[in-house]
A and B are shown apart, each in its own frame.
Chain A
Amino acid sequence: MMIIYNNMTFVIRSLSIAYKGRVVLTDVNLNVPAKQITAVIGPSGCGKSTLLRALNRTLELVPGAEVKSGEVYFQGKNIYDKDTDVQIVRKRIGMVMQKPIAFPLSIKENVLFGVKFHKNFNGKSKGEIVETSLKTVGLFDEVKDRLNDKAYALSLGQLQRLCIARALANNPEALLMDEPCSALDPISTGKIEELILQLKDRLPIFIVTHNIAQAKRISDYCLFLSDGRVLQQCNTLEIFENPLDEKVRDFITGRIG
């Protein structure tokens, strides 16, 4: 068993999740190698966000949510073990939500939010961390003159990139993104897709998306969920060439959405 885990960042074993006793995710199994972009697709309410939240233990913030069975190994260690530190898990596995949230702080302090808590400077100065993080997401030139201004003056697309910068500043080893572009215009979406492809060399990325074309453009591997069950999981090209199930075919050809 250990051999499998060695070159995998995530190993998910028969994961099942329920909200207040109602099972919404059944028996998910998945191995994720490093440097892979995994797209999670499927109709609304099928459990995509639930799966994502289970991967960095933010699921337990939802009242009533419960992992019924299964394990999630990250770098060979089950994150649901009793002795795991939740805060460390969340620090190591960054997350970007659908709706960008600016904390009531300056742009600079938003970027440093996690870093300051974890004292995770790696010998760099605060200014350097802010600059590299913002440069990675292509925001530095746009905001370098107003780093001390409140963050909520930014546009939605800029805000989402700020949120990604905030997650990256924490120096995560994996990144989970829940429909990061669904609130954005096409140009901002393009920028974020570019950024995701660029980040791929650094860390494995999970992305939930409603946009089939987006999944096709950026992901290496696809996980198709329907009603809490995996209907198909395979390389992205394959799912588009050879959808195994009628539901999958209807979905990726755009007949249901």
Chain B
Amino acid sequence: MHESVTYIETSIGASTCTYRRWRNFLNTSMEGFLWICGAIGLLLPLSIFGYICFEGVNHLSISFITEYPKGTPLGTSGGIMPAILGSFFLALIGFILSFPFALFGGIYLSEYGRETKFAHVVRFFVECLTAVPAIIYGLFGYAFLVVFLKFGVSLIAGSITLSLIMFPIMLISIQEALLSIKDEYREAAFALGVSKIYIIRRVLIPRAWPSIVAGIVLAVGHAIGSASPVLFTASIYFSKGNVSLDQPVMTLPTHLYYIVSEAISMDHGYGTAIVLILGLLIFNLCAMFLRKVGSLKQ
């Protein structure tokens, strides 16, 4: 639609000038190319999600969400309730363990240690940490938490491992969110004779809140979806859905991994994938809501 309008406009003036016609052709095709690249961003997730839905939607049912796995081999029937619970608690506890450190760490780096050598060094290592593949965290969690600290393969070992993954992502996004607030805000507040803590609490955090939530979503979403950090530290092939800190749990990504790699049931696999994606979707929606509420309050 847009292209055709441009074309008509140009064809009036351009009939006398091939150069202009050529230039407009370039502009139009460039815009079209950029549009296609942008559209890939929409098409890619939609088609992946669409395909998985198409394959697995018949398999979704109430019992799939509320029952534990059954059948021989295990997983051919029944549901994935223990995996949902396991993933939920792993992410929740991991988040609770890491968020305070990320928040206070980000505040320190941005508001107290800005431009100090310490802040630069910390930032460098934290950035390295975000680039470490998830399987390395899994290996570390296994060697240090499971074996050395004798936690065993358990919910707590997995949660701590996930918190290690979430921490650097959240720290960096919180630091960046605070850094992006112009100094004018700090100056205007300081000029009223208030303390730094008061400014952080009432000006900087509310202002950075949407970006902070975005960082949380990124970190937690990343953690829920990864199989490798929990594979050796927290996950078990089968559980009836009881959750306890010192016991292993089933998780959605590892369940998916077992069930597909052992060729147990593709249907079950697709069903699990839908639940995982829906879970992330719901989580994102909650976050969007939280973002609104956070920026509306006060």
Contacts and interface: CB of A to CB of B under 8 A. Distances in A.
Interface of A: 56, 58, 61, 63, 86-92, 94-95, 97, 99, 101, 103-106, 109, 113-114, 117-118, 150, 163, 166-167, 170
A89 B190 CA distance: 11
Contact of B194 (A61, A104, A109, A113): A113
B33 interface: no
Interface string B268-298: 0000000000000000000000000001101
Interface stretch (B156-164, B180-188, B221-229): B180-188
Contact of B203 (A61, A91, A94, A103): A103
A58 B206 CA distance: 23
Given A103-B202, A117-B198, A61 B186 contact: yes
Q: Which of B185, B187, B191, B198 has the most CB of A within 10 A?
A: B191
B120 to A, nearest CB: 16
B60 interface: no
A105 B193 contact: no
A90 B298 contact: no
A94 B295 CA distance: 28
14 contacts: A89-B193, A97-B188, A101-B184, A101-B185, A103-B203, A104-B206, A105-B206, A106-B298, A109-B298, A114-B192, A117-B193, A117-B194, A167-B192, A170-B192
Interface of B: 115, 184-195, 198, 202-203, 206-207, 295-296, 298
Contact of A113 (B184, B186, B187, B189): B189
B193 to A, nearest CB: 3
Nearest to B209: A104
Nearest to A92: B193
A166 B192 contact: yes
Contacts of A166: 192
B222 to A, nearest CB: 28
A104 B195 contact: no
Contact of B191 (A88, A97, A99, A109): A97
Contacts of B194: 87, 113-114, 117-118
Given A113-B194, A117-B195, A118-B193, A105 B202 contact: yes
A153 to B, nearest CB: 13
A183 to B, nearest CB: 12
Contact of A163 (B188, B198, B298): B188
